[in-house]
Amino acid sequence: MAYDGILLGMGNPLLDISAVVDEGFLERYDVKLNNAILAEEKHLPMYDELATKYDVEATQNSIRVAQWMLQIPGATSYIGCVGKDKFGEVMKKSSHAAGVNVQYDEDETAPTGTCAVCVVGGERSLIANLSAANCYKVEHLEIEKAKYIYIAGFFLTVSPASIQLVSEHAAATNKVFSMNLSAPFICEFFREAQEKAMPYVDFLFGNETEARTFSKVHGWETDDVPEIALKISQLPKVSSTRKRIAVITQGADPVVVAEDGKVSLFPVILLPKEKLVDTNGAGDAFVGGFLSQLIQEKPIEECVRAGCYAANVIIQRSGCTYPEKPDFH
């Protein structure tokens, strides 16, 4: 099979500013753990405070992890918008070094977006300041080559028009289109854009908190994750070529996969608490591992196993980083 450019990721390229902070820091900026939000005015001083003290690293985590798992040069690409600045250059260098072919839309008016990753006791909170990522233009799209397309739900806040174009293209050309719920606030406040994209989604990823929020927003009156996954998999779909598969992670609890009216549970690799360094990027890594096998047309249980392996590696390291080569067989 030809792997060149087979997997395309779209989203918000943000430079992570990752830091172990204390409860006082969270209180000062009114931030809750295990959450992901968009920055408001009150959060902006946080970025300078963190950037002067801590390391920065590039995101595009899912696609980077898929590329790492694959070890096939040029198999993955990524599009999004960055600023014409130092952070934008860092993003480019880091992605190319990881083997991801990034094709950025560059905006001259806004700086490259950043994401504050605040870690307390191994749990994380994300506060995204989109800046240039918010400026992505539909005319920049180049999607012909890819056979599998993955878009983070966060992109619904930036360019629903791009998502619509890509999802319709995927349905018309029989490409595999996948999305992520990404965060509770996406399900709550970007419901309309999410509902427009959903009929095109072949694989829907999320975690248990996002799934429960999705259920509440849709008035389903159930907190049961397997039941919610099943309902998501059975939502109306444009193309009948393949049925939707919903894949919901639950931290240390089993991964829930709903497909064709059935629910399967897959145990994760359990990790002793003392080995947990940082949960940031665990969900992204799971998706990256999963996609790395999906594009090789492996069975779902292999995709889940690869997702669990990648997430397990990531949570034992700081940030979304990994060893030189995967040890996955």
Question: What is residue 114's DSSP assignment?
Answer: E
d(C-alpha 256, C-alpha 197), whole Å? 22
The strand pairing partners of 206, in sequence order, are 248
Evaluate whether 78 touches 9 at the Cβ level (below 8 Å). Answer: yes
- Specify the DSSP class assigned to residue 238: S
Q: Which residues, 6+ apart, have CB-to-CB distance to 315 below 8 Å? A: 122, 271, 276, 277, 278, 279, 282
> Which residue shows structure tokens 């709550």?
188
Strand ranges (E), the chain: 7-10, 14-20, 35-38, 56-58, 76-83, 101-107, 113-120, 123-129, 148-151, 176-180, 203-207, 245-250, 253-259, 262-266
What strand order describes the sheet that includes 148-151? 101-107, 76-83, 7-10, 148-151, 176-180, 203-207, 245-250, 253-259, 262-266
* Integer Cα distance of 234 and 219 in angstroms: 15
The token duo for 58 is: 């590039």
CB 294 within 8 A of CB 303: yes
Selected catalytic residue, list 16, 202, 284, 327: 284
Helix axes 61-70, 282-294, angle to 10 degrees: 50
For the question of residue 284 being annotated catalytic, the response is yes
* Length of the chain in terms of residues written: 329
Residue 163 to residue 149: CA distance in whole angstroms = 10
Which residue matches tokens 């390391």? 55
Active-site positions read: 284
